[in-house]
Amino acid sequence: MLGRMAHACIGVEDLEKSVSFYTDVLGMKETERRTLANGTTLVMMNSGGETEVELTYRGQPQAAAPAPRYVGLRHVAFFVSDIDATVKALKEKGVEFYREPGPKGAPARAAFFRDPNGADIELMQK
């Protein structure tokens, strides 16, 4: 019934800061930018394969969100070939991880950090 996932959408407060983070820090490429009739700007970012992230900017600060609940979309995950090298390179660019790569020696390892808007991002190595 369903095909591959089309994209994950992340709402942002500072569009250019977010685009810079996804391009300069994560190495993604901006593939499309358009502004809708209601003023919302959508920017599609691609990681070089089929994975896309849509950054959505509404043009004004958003109301404070209620306390997060453990329901709904929790994070966006990207496969990497060498998680230790990727984490090291991102730390050199100022990314702070709240979960370091682990568990050591496991067949699959993961690490987590947040983008400038607080969206959780997971790196996975199988």
**Residue written as tokens 């090298």?**
85
Per-residue pLDDT tens digits for 46-79: 988 888 899 999 876 656 555 555 556 778 989 9
* Residue 2 identity (one-letter amino acid): L
The one catalytic residue in 13, 52, 100, 122 is 122
pLDDT digit string, tens, across residues 15-28: 999 999 999 999 99
Domains and CATH numbers, the chain: 1-59 (3.10.180.10), 74-126 (3.10.180.10)
Indicate if 122 belongs to the active site.
yes
12 Cβ neighbours under 8 A, 6+ residues apart: 18, 55, 56, 57, 116, 117
Q: What is the mean pLDDT of residues 77-99?
A: 95
Q: Are 55 and 12 in contact (CB under 8 A)?
A: yes
Q: Diameter of the chain by CA atoms?
A: 51
What pLDDT, on a 0 to 100 scale, did the predictor assign at position 48?
Answer: 87
